[in-house]
């Protein structure tokens, strides 16, 4: 956000670039970065620029530490290698310390600089010190910095975060060196690496960074504030810690070699890192292989938890760091300096910019030892390479050993991470080799890489409040930011967001930048409490005034001329006569005198009451209806679903929506049950009892009754009540397991047709429809095919019955929501087509049990029917000449190329529209978009909702990169990718996304961020999280779900993604991880989330993770007894009943707080998530960890660091 | 000896049988020359309260091809305990339980007065009757209300164990599940789709059980099954004992709504009679094959969609008339007939009857649906409104009971005919279907429903009669010895309304006579009434398939030939023509038959024609004769009521006439009487006698109305009244607008018609009969 502003108001920033950042950074390091920024370009560049030095060296420090622990580590030499990462930990540790000192603050900036950078930073910081970094650093800085600075300035301007990845170099080394080399490299690297790190901190750095990142965990620990302790432990404790950590010892081992002393601090940190051990392990192999191996494993085992502690230890580093620490505290700048370390990136750039950089170096100086370690770390990375080659196995072994100790696993994972990094390095090596040979696999400190958490917090800080839409091309605050829209001529971002707000003027520029021009539309989004709902304009018989040529609706963009007798359309440039009834004089400014009385001339969002011309058959619609279709076959009866639903129906029906101002809903309801036949119910209010009508002709479904099927729920209350008692009773003994589905939906459709109204079907279905009827499906549950080139065969519908049915439904304004209660394969890919085409969605409750999942179901249903919704709608996107909406993604049906037919659309759904250039745009005109949604309201009124949005055009790429909305891009990409998965092979799709991402960034790098060293990763400010998010998309279940999930789950999430609105997609791709163990009982806010990585998770912690689909409560084994007692009513984590899906309600503040928090979180999502309890080291932990998206996935998917490195490599490829 | 009249009467009383010829010609050729075929009208279920209850099985002839039943005509060797079959002459030993018989101690079946005897098969299962109501809801509120009342009332008339089911239809067809509490259930079918029996069963969820053979055993007495016991028969949900579902069915009927689908201006409601009937038949077919059941179809209009459609829903297109049919302009007719015929055959094959209660001002498609009733023995009732007493009384009378309190209806009957070697069976005409049972006594020549010696009567009552036709097989060269007797045995197995399986056996014998030598013997045994009815049935049966004029010509030719054969005359001298007394009424019957609604379709709709013919095909001899030649009584101050000629001359100003055409009971007040009545003399005490005179025919009419089924249309009219046309169309137009001036008007009321009068007809007949060239 700042960045966006920045461009606009460079001077200001220049004046106080820090401020710009500051906010985001939170006054910490941010300032530092800011300062650097100013220095460099006067902008943010410095901050943006973050030299990512791999923590590799630090690990070295760690190693130093490790040695002591080494004994512990004795276990696995193999681990050692993989542990190389532990070394990294060392760096992390260092990073940690730094962070600790500056750390926390620093992170902010670091993040800014570059997430990738941050790791770098960490390593950097650590590395810098250890490597003797200072000198090298400087040199590099000199070169790098020099370059960085400039780049940084650019970056600054661009608001980019440059990431120097030492990695690349390392990679080369690693590659070249392979295991041996790495080792050597590791050894040697220290020297060289440091420089590398510094200069192109980003280079090779990243990978190492990863290593470090793992170690960073400690960093997190810092955050914990346990920092202090660690140091303590660090010193003496270290060993002990180490011992416990096991890992650390390893790290220690190596570390000692390097900069033992400084390391001590680092040591602890390393040990803390737990991670360190692994690196250490890595190191060990090199240096202290024996110890490492042995020590490594053990550390992990016990260490992990301790590892958490270690972070604390990390704190100690601070202790050790003191200087550093001092630094940070000293001046915001220094901190920055410190920051630099954090964002290794910053150091380079920031350092220079700061000018105070020296201090950082100084701090670094303190660090140096670290630096040494870093280098040392580097080696580990080097090892990593080894590991890579052989890594997998070692890793495995680690894991194996790790597995035992919970923390261990982390360590191992971290190690893994580092290993991965190395892997990247490998890949990179070839590229980076030339430049960064000396640097071996370095690790990026994950904490130094751009952090979404930080970005969100900063944006929240800077941009909450009121957002006025009075200017064209304004970039709105982030989706996650709480703000109030004041509609002053453009539709609010709740309704419509664009991926970019400055539209490139030329097609060529669009191609070059590769940034998509897409809109994400949620025309029915809820309005915030402080906002006014869109005003409704009733033009009477006249109807909406429209452009004579393009039929655009009257809006603030229309220009009245000729004394108000005609108006000029900004969309198509045509001039239209103003109808006599609509005529109004113009004032001296050429504006209509009545413009403030007419919403359509003032607001960006408003509604017209439609005339008969806009209605089906030219008659006003009847109020829409809601039909419940309940599968009453054996499964649903047995699971208690039918019983529950019927029991709750009365309450559910009270929630039917109504138009604003209406006293009660006029929507009618109807009920259908089905198994292998379809049963309609006559619930006419005058009947003494409901009448059931069975239609057995499933081949040719029809509507058996006319009156009495759809009734006003209040008029027929008694009959409905009676029916709801009867349904469970009637089918209580059913043995029917063969069900139909298509005929049931057809039945609902026919019912709506017969009643001549639009509406929605809520289908409660249990099993694969195998009864002899249309839509009969075969079981093709071959999940092996998932994530392979053949996955389309199971992800595409097996028959087109449901597609045809969906189209029929759309034709009748009938939307279908499927509630699925499957115990086995149900083929959502096929049956979901009905939802897809009709603007519906799927709710899935696998292995549903009423007593466990009932609340969720009922909450979902209630939300489903009560939310704002439009029926029988058609949406069209009109654009000004030069651009045109071409591609549409979401749940709807299109019978032509322009109109989206949505049988319904509600507040939780979004569609994405891609807009492409037809022609060159002129810079003065801007681009205008008008989205018109013609729909039937829940009160039965035919209306048009019009959303208007205007954009600027630009001819400078920098302008474009300044105005992008990353959340929208991610949402857009995700929908596009999911769509394409059904057309092309998954590999093609993913590669193309990665390539596009690289192209976007490379283009920026090339055109907006030069000059800087090629090794530097420079990211545009507003897209600095792009690599992270793209990686998250790629890793997401929807895109990459493999055979560890069911085909149905996969199809389900794919559908979910294709309808996700922005708030959902943000959290879906980057889950929210909320620490609960130190929650403030007196507050009612949701605690600040932390980054999604295992590094941040501590044994004694409890975390809530949610992504809008799943929700986990992870409980560390060492969590405080009080906490467990208060929340679960048992004595220890081990006694908690993991199978429960709700927290017990106990009478104490903590329990109440946690319970209410969970429910608050649930309420924020439109699907009620199942709460899964995960105890550390239980089987389910794997699943939980799957959602720690910054980490490397179990399926081999890249960690954030890995991906960033990869991205960097790609960018470099593109640039070279 | 008694006269033939007495003999005939006695035979009818005892055996319910009337032969056209009571002395049989002994050769094929002679039989053919008799013009009127050898045949009989038999009432299989004639009421015989005096019959002894026989609780054992009949004794059968042991010859496999024969299997005739022991009867009084058999020769019995009491000593050897042997009996000789009178059809195949097989000597059969008596079964062990007959060991004690002697000439003095005879079992009932050997006693001559029990030439008709009824056995009750005790080991057979008792099945309650099944009633499946199929109700049209496309009628207006008033009609529906009345119908609902009648149906609810009928529940009380049913035996508690009778199974009952309900199907309603309009645009859709609903099969209602009975006995469900809290929520009434029904299965709905589209009214436009012709479903196979299997589909129907699948959709009703009753198809999975049991092949048809097992099903009957499974059914058992359904009330015997309880929860927890064996699975209830699949159709149990739809057909429940009355005592179980009485309340719920009453409620269900009470809540029955008119068909809710909107009917646009100028449209007929969409009515799915064809599918509804198909479903009813399918349901029973699956659930209770070969078990007595009746589908009671209540229709208030024509089927306007789907299979069995007789007209479309556009009111601009009237339903087909005779004229349309003649012009081959009835586009739905053939297809519909095919549909209903197929249903009728399916129902008949399973022993299920179909009643049609049609109440509408316009036609409802009885023409197309008639086979359902005709083939299964079901009732066909035609009325104007469900709210009329005609319907209400008639419907009530369906459930009439006899003196023992049992329904006067039998189910799932099979009539088997056995005949002496000299006879073969040509066919039957009646409310039945041929079972196609071949046998040695089945003739190659078919009259009516032939090719079988067994016929199925899905339901029949005491009035039901069937015409059976025989062929004498002896060649002229090998005549039957004089004095021999030919025997015929009728074996009727049926399900009594009490559920019992019963077998009624009638065995009759007649003498053979050589027609060449003893024609007078044969002619003396002529039963002109039976002959008239049999000829009528034959003619009507032909009329169903042949064109009108051909049939009439055939009737004329047969009459002329009969007159030629049995009249006494001099050649070419019409005035010399005389007929024996027992032939004298026959030409008159034929005259009225020619004019009747059975053969003349003018002024009748196809539905009416179908209805009239339906009744003629089943009623007993007396009723049939009334249909052919209505009865006219005259009431006056001059004396007690007297039957008068069905002639214009009987229409006198000071008389009240009561005409019974079977279908109508008409009271006609002569001109003077009508005036008096209009002046309300009957209300004056001093004219009590006039009041009594007015009342007398009304009372008599009531008496007839009370007993007849279906209830006749009751008409009260007077000279010049519009409804007097019913009378005027029936009477012999001896006075017409052509002849009135010649004869004056005092003798009666002229009739405006070009029809020939009986006198003219007779004159022509004589002329032709005596003509040597004819």
Q: Which residues of B touch A677 (CB under 8 A)?
A: 187, 203, 205
Euclidean distance between the first and the last CA atom of chain A, given in angstroms as a whole number? 31
- Partner-chain residue, chosen from A689, A694, A730, that has the shortest CB–CB distance to B188: A694
Question: Residue A933's beta-bridge partner residues?
Answer: A875, A945
Mean pLDDT of B586-594: 93
A1102-1106: strand order across its sheet: A1072-1075, A1102-1106, A1110-1115, A1170-1175
Q: Measured between CB atoms, does A690 come within 8 Å of chain B?
A: yes
Interchain pair A687, B262: CB under 8 A? no
Which among A691, A708, A724 is the top mutation candidate for probing chain B, defined by the most B β-carbons within 10 Å of its own β-carbon?
A: A691
Q: What's the rounded Cα separation, in Å, for the pair B425 and B18?
A: 16
Q: Measured between CB atoms, does A729 come within 8 Å of chain B?
A: yes
pLDDT value for A82: 37
Residue B124: pLDDT band (50, 70, 90) is confident
Q: For strand B172-177 and strand B82-84, is the pairing parallel, antiparallel, or unpaired? A: unpaired
Chain B residue closest to A691 (CA)?
Answer: B184
Interchain pair A726, B184: CB under 8 A? no
- Partner-chain residue, chosen from B183, B190, B203, that has the shortest CB–CB distance to A689: B183
CB atoms within 10 A of CB B65: 11
The 3-state secondary structure of B298-356 reads EECCCCCCCCCCCCCCECCCCCCCHHHHHCCCCCCHHHHHHHHHHHHHHHHHCCEEEEE
Q: What angle do CA B7, B11, B14 make, to 5 degrees?
A: 140
- Partner-chain residue, chosen from B180, B190, B255, that has the shortest CB–CB distance to A702: B190
Interchain pair A705, B172: CB under 8 A? yes
Share of chain A above pLDDT 70, in %: 63
Interchain pair B182, A695: CB under 8 A? no
Chain B residue closest to A689 (CA)?
Answer: B183
Which among B167, B168, B173, B186 is the top mutation candidate for probing chain A, defined by the most A β-carbons within 10 Å of its own β-carbon?
A: B186
Are the CB atoms for A802 and A810 separated by under 8 Å?
Answer: no
Question: Residue A1172's beta-bridge partner residues?
Answer: A1112
HSE, CB side, 13 Å, CA atoms: give it for residue B242: 18
Interchain pair A693, B174: CB under 8 A? yes
Q: Which residue has the tokens 């289908």?
A: A763
Mean pLDDT taken over chain B: 88
Interchain pair A725, B182: CB under 8 A? yes
| List of residues 6+ apart from B766 with CB closer than 8 A | B563, B569, B574, B575, B577
Q: Looking at the complex, report in whole angstroms how far the Cα of residue B180 sits from the nearest Cα belonging to chain A.
A: 9
Interchain pair A691, B185: CB under 8 A? yes
pLDDT digits (tens, 9 = 90+) for A944-1003: 999 999 999 999 899 999 999 999 999 999 999 999 998 889 999 999 999 999 999 999
Q: Which residues of B touch A704 (CB under 8 A)?
A: 172, 174, 188
- Partner-chain residue, chosen from B180, B188, B199, that has the shortest CB–CB distance to A704: B188
- Residue A683 token pair: 């619930």
Q: Helices marked H in B53-184 — which ranges? A: 141-157
Interchain pair B195, A694: CB under 8 A? no
Q: At B412, phi and psi to the nearest 5?
A: 50, 50
**One-character DSSP codes across B359-371:** E-SS--SHHHHHH
Residue A925: pLDDT band (50, 70, 90) is confident
Burial B206-235 (b: 16+ CB within 10 A, else e): bbebbeeeebbebbeebeebeeeeeebbbb
- Choose between A386 and B61: higher pLDDT: B61
Interchain pair A696, B187: CB under 8 A? yes
pLDDT digits (tens, 9 = 90+) for A45-71: 333 333 333 333 333 333 333 333 333
pLDDT digits (tens, 9 = 90+) for A699-723: 888 888 888 899 999 999 999 999 9
pLDDT digits (tens, 9 = 90+) for A147-203: 333 333 333 333 333 344 433 333 333 333 333 333 333 333 333 333 333 333 333
Share of chain B above pLDDT 90, in %: 57
Mean pLDDT of A1008-1031: 84
Instruction: Note every long-range contact of A797-802, with CB atoms under 8 Å and residues 24 or more positions apart, other chains counting.
Output: A797/A829, A797/A830, A797/A833, A798/A827, A798/A829, A798/A830, A799/A775, A799/A830, A801/A742, A801/A774, A801/A775, A802/A742, A802/A775, A802/A830, A802/A831, A802/A832, A802/A833, A802/A834
Q: What's the rounded Cα separation, in Å, for the pair A1070 and A1073?
A: 9
Q: Which residues of B touch A692 (CB under 8 A)?
A: 180, 183-186
Interchain pair A694, B189: CB under 8 A? no
What ipTM is given for this predicted complex? 0.84
Q: Which residues of A touch B183 (CB under 8 A)?
A: 681, 689-692, 722-723, 726, 730
Are the CB atoms for A446 and A385 separated by under 8 Å?
Answer: no
Are the CB atoms for A1057 and A978 separated by under 8 Å?
Answer: yes
Q: Looking at the complex, report in whole angstroms how far the Cα of residue B189 sits from the nearest Cα belonging to chain A.
A: 6
Q: What's the burial of B755, exposed, middle or buried (CB within 10 Å: 0-12/13-18/19+)?
A: middle
pLDDT digits (tens, 9 = 90+) for B259-302: 888 899 999 999 999 999 999 999 998 888 888 999 999 999 99
- Residue A749 token pair: 């459709």
Interchain pair B205, A696: CB under 8 A? yes
Nearest to B39 by CA among B420, B428, B457, B563: B428
Q: Which residues of B touch A679 (CB under 8 A)?
A: 185
Q: Measured between CB atoms, does A732 come within 8 Å of chain B?
A: no
Q: Looking at the complex, report in whole angstroms how far the Cα of residue B312 sits from the nearest Cα belonging to chain A.
A: 21
User: Could you give the C-alpha distances from A799 to A780, A805, A823, B269, in angstroms and in order?
Assistant: 12, 11, 22, 39
- Partner-chain residue, chosen from B186, B189, B190, that has the shortest CB–CB distance to A691: B186
| List of residues 6+ apart from B6 with CB closer than 8 A | none
Q: Which residues of B touch A685 (CB under 8 A)?
A: none
Q: What's the rounded Cα separation, in Å, for the pair B457 and B435?
A: 10
Which among A693, A733, A746, A756 is the top mutation candidate for probing chain B, defined by the most B β-carbons within 10 Å of its own β-carbon?
A: A693
Chain B residue closest to A701 (CA)?
Answer: B190
pLDDT digits (tens, 9 = 90+) for A521-556: 999 999 888 888 999 999 999 999 999 999 999 999
Interchain pair B183, A722: CB under 8 A? yes
pLDDT value for B286: 86
On the question of pLDDT at A1110 being above 70, the answer is: yes
Share of chain B above pLDDT 70, in %: 94
pLDDT digits (tens, 9 = 90+) for A1131-1187: 888 888 888 888 888 899 999 999 999 999 998 888 889 899 999 988 888 889 989
- Partner-chain residue, chosen from B182, B199, B251, that has the shortest CB–CB distance to A722: B182
Chain A residue closest to B173 (CA)?
Answer: A704
Q: Measured between CB atoms, does A851 come within 8 Å of chain B?
A: no
pLDDT value for A678: 92
Q: Looking at the complex, report in whole angstroms how far the Cα of residue B196 sits from the nearest Cα belonging to chain A.
A: 12
Chain A residue closest to B176 (CA)?
Answer: A693
> B-side interface with A, Cβ within 8 Å?
172, 174, 180, 182-190, 193, 195, 199, 202-205, 251, 255, 260-262
- Choose between A608 and B754: higher pLDDT: A608
Interchain pair B193, A687: CB under 8 A? no
Nearest to B178 by CA among B138, B228, B130: B130
pLDDT digits (tens, 9 = 90+) for A322-378: 333 333 333 333 333 333 333 333 333 333 333 333 333 333 333 333 333 333 333
On the question of pLDDT at A497 being above 90, the answer is: yes
A42 φ/ψ sector (left φ>0, alpha ψ -120 to 50, else beta)? left
- Partner-chain residue, chosen from B185, B193, B199, that has the shortest CB–CB distance to A694: B185
């Amino acid at each position: 956000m700042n960045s966006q502003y920045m461009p606009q108001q460079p001077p200001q920033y220049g004046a106080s670039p820090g401020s710009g950042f500051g906010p985001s950074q939170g006054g910490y390091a941010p300032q530092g970065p800011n300062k650097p920024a100013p220095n460099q370009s006067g902008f943010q560049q410095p901050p943006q620029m973050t030299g990512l030095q791999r923590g590799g060296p630090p690990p070295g420090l760690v190693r130093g530490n490790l040695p002591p622990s080494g004994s512990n580590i004795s276990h696995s030499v193999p681990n050692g290698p993989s542990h190389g990462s532990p070394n990294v930990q060392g760096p992390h540790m260092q990073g940690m310390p730094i962070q600790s000192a500056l750390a926390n603050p620093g992170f902010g900036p670091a993040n800014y600089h570059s997430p990738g950078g941050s790791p770098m930073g960490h390593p950097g910081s650590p590395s810098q010190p250890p490597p003797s970094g200072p000198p090298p650093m400087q040199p590099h800085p000199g070169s790098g910095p020099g370059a960085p600075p400039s780049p940084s300035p650019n970056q600054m301007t661009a608001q980019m975060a440059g990431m120097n990845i030492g990695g690349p170099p390392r990679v080369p080394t690693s590659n070249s060196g392979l295991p041996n080399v790495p080792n050597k490299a590791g050894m040697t690297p220290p020297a060289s690496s440091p420089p590398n790190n510094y200069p192109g901190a980003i280079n090779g750095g990243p990978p190492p960074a990863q290593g470090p990142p793992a170690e960073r965990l400690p960093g997190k620990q810092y955050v914990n504030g346990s920092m202090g302790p660690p140091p303590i432990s660090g010193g003496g404790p270290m060993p002990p810690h180490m011992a416990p950590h096991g890992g650390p010892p390893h790290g220690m081992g190596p570390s000692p070699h390097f900069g033992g002393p400084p390391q001590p601090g680092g040591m602890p940190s390393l040990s803390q890192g737990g991670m360190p051990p692994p690196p250490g392990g890595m190191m060990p192999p090199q240096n202290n292989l024996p110890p490492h191996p042995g020590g490594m494993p053990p550390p992990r085992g016990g260490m992990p938890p301790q590892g958490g502690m270690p972070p604390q230890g990390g704190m100690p580093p601070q202790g050790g760091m003191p200087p550093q620490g001092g630094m940070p505290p000293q001046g915001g700048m220094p901190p920055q300096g410190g920051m630099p370390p954090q964002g290794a990136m910053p150091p380079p750039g920031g350092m220079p910019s700061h000018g105070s950089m020296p201090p950082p170096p100084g701090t670094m100086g303190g660090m140096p030892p670290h630096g040494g370690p870093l280098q040392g770390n580097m080696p580990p990375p080097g090892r990593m390479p080894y590991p890579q080659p052989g890594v997998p196995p070692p890793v495995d072994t680690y894991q194996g050993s790790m597995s035992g100790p919970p923390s261990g696993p982390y360590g191992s994972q971290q190690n893994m991470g580092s290993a991965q990094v190395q892997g990247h390095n490998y890949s990179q090596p070839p590229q980076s080799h030339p430049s960064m040979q000396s640097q071996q696999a370095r690790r990026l400190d994950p904490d130094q890489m751009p952090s979404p958490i930080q970005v969100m917090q900063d944006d929240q800080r800077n941009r909450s409040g009121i957002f006025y839409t009075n200017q064209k091309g304004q970039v709105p605050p982030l989706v996650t930011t709480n703000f109030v829209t004041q509609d002053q001529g453009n539709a609010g971002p709740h309704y419509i967001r664009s991926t970019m707000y400055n539209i490139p003027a030329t097609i060529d520029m669009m191609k070059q930048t590769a940034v998509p021009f897409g809109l994400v539309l949620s025309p029915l989004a809820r309005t915030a409490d402080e906002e006014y709902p869109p005003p409704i304009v009733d033009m009477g018989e006249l109807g909406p005034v429209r452009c004579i040529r393009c039929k655009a609706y009257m809006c603030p963009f229309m220009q009245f001329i000729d004394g108000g007798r005609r108006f000029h359309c900004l969309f198509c440039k045509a001039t239209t006569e103003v109808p006599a009834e609509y005529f109004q004089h113009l004032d001296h400014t050429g504006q209509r005198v009545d413009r403030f009385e007419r919403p359509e001339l003032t607001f960006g969002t408003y509604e017209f009451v439609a005339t008969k011309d806009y209605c089906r058959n030219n008659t006003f619609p009847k109020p829409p209806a809601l039909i419940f279709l309940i599968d009453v076959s054996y499964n649903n009866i047995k699971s208690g679903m039918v019983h529950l639903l019927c029991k709750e129906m009365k309450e559910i029906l009270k929630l039917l929506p109504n138009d604003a101002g209406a006293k009660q809903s006029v929507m009618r309801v109807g009920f259908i049950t089905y198994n292998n036949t379809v049963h309609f119910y006559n619930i006419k209010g005058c009947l003494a009892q409901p009448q059931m009508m069975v239609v057995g002709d499933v081949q040719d479904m029809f509507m058996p009754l006319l009156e009495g099927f759809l009734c006003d729920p209040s008029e027929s209350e008694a009959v409905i009540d009676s029916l709801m008692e009867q349904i469970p009773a009637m089918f209580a003994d059913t043995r029917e397991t063969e069900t139909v589905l298509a005929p049931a939906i057809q039945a609902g459709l026919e019912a709506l047709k017969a009643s001549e109204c639009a509406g929605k079907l809520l289908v409660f279905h249990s099993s694969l429809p195998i009864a002899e009827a249309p839509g009969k499906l075969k079981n093709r549950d071959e999940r092996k095919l998932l994530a392979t080139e053949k996955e389309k065969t199971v992800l595409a519908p097996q028959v087109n019955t449901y597609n045809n049915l969906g189209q029929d439904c759309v034709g009748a304004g009938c939307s279908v929501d499927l509630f699925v209660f499957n115990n086995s394969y149900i083929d959502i890919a096929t049956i979901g087509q009905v939802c897809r085409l009709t603007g519906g969605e799927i709710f899935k409750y696998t292995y549903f049990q009423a007593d466990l999942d009932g609340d969720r179901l009922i909450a979902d249903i209630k939300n489903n029917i009560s939310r704002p919704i439009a029926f029988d709608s058609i949406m069209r996107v009109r654009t000004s000449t030069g651009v045109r909406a071409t591609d549409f993604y979401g749940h709807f049906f299109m019978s032509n190329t322009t109109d989206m037919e949505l049988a319904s659309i509600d507040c939780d759904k979004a569609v994405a529209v891609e807009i492409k250039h037809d022609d060159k745009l002129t810079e003065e005109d801007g681009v205008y978009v008008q989205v018109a949604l013609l729909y039937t309201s829940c009160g039965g009124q035919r209306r048009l909702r019009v959303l208007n949005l205007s954009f600027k055009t630009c001819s400078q790429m920098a302008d474009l990169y300044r105005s992008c909305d990353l959340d929208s891009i991610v949402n857009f990409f995700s929908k596009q990718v999911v769509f394409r998965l059904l057309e092309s092979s998954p590999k093609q799709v993913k590669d193309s996304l990665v390539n596009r991402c690289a192209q976007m960034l490379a283009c920026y790098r090339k055109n907006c961020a030069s000059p800087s060293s090629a090794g530097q990763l420079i990211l545009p400010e507003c897209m600095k999280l792009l690599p992270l998010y793209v990686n998250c998309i790629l890793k997401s279940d929807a895109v990459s779900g493999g055979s560890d999930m069911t085909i149905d789950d996969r199809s389900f999430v794919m559908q979910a993604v294709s309808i996700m609105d922005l708030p959902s997609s943000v959290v879906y791709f980057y889950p929210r991880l909320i620490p609960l163990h130190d929650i403030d009982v007196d507050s009612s806010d949701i605690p600040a989330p932390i980054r999604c990585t295992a590094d941040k998770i501590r044994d004694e912690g409890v975390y809530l993770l949610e992504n809008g689909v799943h929700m986990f409560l992870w409980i560390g084994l060492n969590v405080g007894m009080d906490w467990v007692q208060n929340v679960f009513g048992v004595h220890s984590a081990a006694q908690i009943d993991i199978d429960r899906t709700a927290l017990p309600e106990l009478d104490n503040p903590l329990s109440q707080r946690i319970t209410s928090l969970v429910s608050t979180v649930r309420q924020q999502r439109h699907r009620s998530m199942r709460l899964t309890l995960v105890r550390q080291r239980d089987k389910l932990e794997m699943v939980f960890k799957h959602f720690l998206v910054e980490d490397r996935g179990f399926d081999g998917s890249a960690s954030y660091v890995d991906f960033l490195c990869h991205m960097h490599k790609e960018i470099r490829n593109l640039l070279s | 000896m008694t006269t033939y009249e007495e003999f005939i009467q006695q035979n009818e009383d005892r055996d319910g049988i009337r032969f056209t010829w009571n002395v049989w010609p002994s050769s094929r050729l002679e039989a053919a020359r008799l013009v009127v075929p050898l045949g009989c009208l038999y009432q299989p279920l004639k009421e015989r309260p005096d019959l002894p209850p026989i609780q054992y099985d009949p004794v059968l002839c042991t010859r496999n091809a024969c299997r005739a039943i022991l009867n009084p005509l058999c020769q019995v060797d009491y000593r050897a305990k042997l009996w000789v079959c009178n059809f195949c002459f097989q000597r059969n030993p008596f079964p062990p339980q007959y060991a004690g018989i002697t000439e003095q101690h005879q079992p009932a079946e050997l006693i001559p007065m029990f030439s008709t005897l009824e056995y009750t098969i005790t080991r057979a299962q008792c099945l309650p009757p099944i009633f499946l109501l199929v109700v049209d809801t496309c009628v207006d509120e008033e009609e529906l209300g009345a119908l609902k009342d009648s149906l609810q009332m009928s529940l009380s008339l049913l035996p508690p164990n009778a199974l009952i089911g309900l199907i309603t239809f309009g645009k859709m067809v609903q099969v209602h599940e009975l006995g469900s509490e809290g929520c009434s259930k029904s299965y709905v079918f589209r009214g436009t789709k012709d479903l196979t029996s299997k589909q129907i069963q699948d959709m009703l969820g009753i198809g999975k059980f049991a092949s048809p053979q097992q099903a009957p055993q499974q059914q058992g007495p359904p009330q015997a099954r309880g929860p927890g016991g064996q699975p209830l028969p699949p159709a149990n949900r739809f057909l429940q004992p009355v005592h179980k579902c009485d309340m719920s069915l009453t409620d269900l009927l009470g809540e029955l709504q008119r068909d809710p689908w909107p009917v646009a201006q100028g449209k007929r409601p969409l009515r799915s009679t064809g599918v509804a009937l198909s479903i009813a038949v399918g349901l029973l077919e699956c659930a209770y094959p070969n078990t007595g059941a009746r589908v009671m179809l209540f229709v208030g209009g024509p089927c306007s969609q789907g299979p069995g459609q007789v007209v479309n829903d556009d009111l601009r297109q009237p339903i087909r008339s005779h004229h349309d049919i003649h012009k081959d302009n009835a586009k739905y007719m053939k297809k519909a007939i095919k549909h209903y015929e197929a249903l009728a055959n399916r129902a008949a094959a399973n022993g299920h009857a179909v009643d049609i209660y049609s109440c509408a001002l316009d036609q409802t498609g009885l023409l197309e649906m008639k086979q359902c009733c005709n083939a299964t023995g079901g009732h066909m009732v035609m009325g104007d409104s469900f709210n009329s007493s005609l319907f209400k009384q008639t419907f009530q009378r369906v459930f009439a009971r006899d003196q023992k309190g049992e329904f006067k209806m039998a189910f799932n009957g099979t009539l088997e005919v056995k005949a002496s070697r000299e006879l073969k069976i040509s066919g039957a005409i009646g409310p039945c279907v041929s079972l196609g049972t071949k046998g040695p006594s089945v003739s190659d020549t078919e009259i009516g429903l032939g090719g079988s010696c067994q016929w199925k009567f899905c339901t029949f009552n005491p009035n039901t009669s069937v015409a059976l036709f025989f062929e004498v097989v002896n060649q002229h060269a090998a005549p039957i010895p004089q004095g021999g007797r030919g025997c015929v045995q009728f074996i009727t197995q049926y399900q009594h309304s009490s559920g019992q399986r019963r077998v009624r056996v009638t065995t009759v014998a007649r003498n053979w006579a050589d027609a060449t030598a003893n024609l007078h013997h044969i002619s003396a045994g002529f039963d002109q009434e039976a002959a008239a009815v049999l000829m009528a049935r034959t003619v009507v049966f032909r009329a169903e398939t042949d064109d009108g004029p051909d049939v009439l010509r055939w009737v004329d030719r047969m009459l002329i030939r009969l007159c030629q054969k049995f009249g006494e005359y001099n050649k070419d001298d019409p005035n010399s023509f005389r007929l024996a007394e027992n032939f004298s009424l026959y030409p008159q019957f034929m005259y009225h038959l020619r004019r009747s609604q059975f053969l003349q379709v003018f002024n009748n709709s196809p539905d009416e024609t179908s209805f009239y013919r339906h009744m003629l095909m089943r009623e007993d001899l007396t009723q049939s004769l009334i249909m052919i030649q209505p009865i006219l009584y005259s009431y006056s101050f001059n004396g007690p009521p007297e039957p008068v000629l069905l002639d214009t001359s009987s229409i006198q100003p000071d008389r009240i006439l009561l005409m019974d055409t079977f279908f109508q009971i008409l009271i006609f007040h002569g001109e003077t009487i009508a005036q008096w009545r209009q002046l309300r003399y009957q209300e004056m005490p001093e004219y009590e006698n006039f009041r009594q005179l007015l009342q007398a025919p009304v009372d008599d009419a009531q008496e007839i109305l009370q007993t007849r089924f279906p209830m006749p249309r009751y008409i009260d009219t007077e000279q010049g009244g519009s409804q007097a046309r019913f009378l005027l169309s029936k009477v012999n137009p001896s006075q017409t607008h052509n002849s009135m001036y010649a004869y004056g008007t005092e003798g009666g009321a002229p009739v405006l018609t070009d029809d020939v009068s009986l006198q003219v007809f007779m004159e022509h007949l004589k002329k032709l009969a005596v003509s040597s060239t004819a």
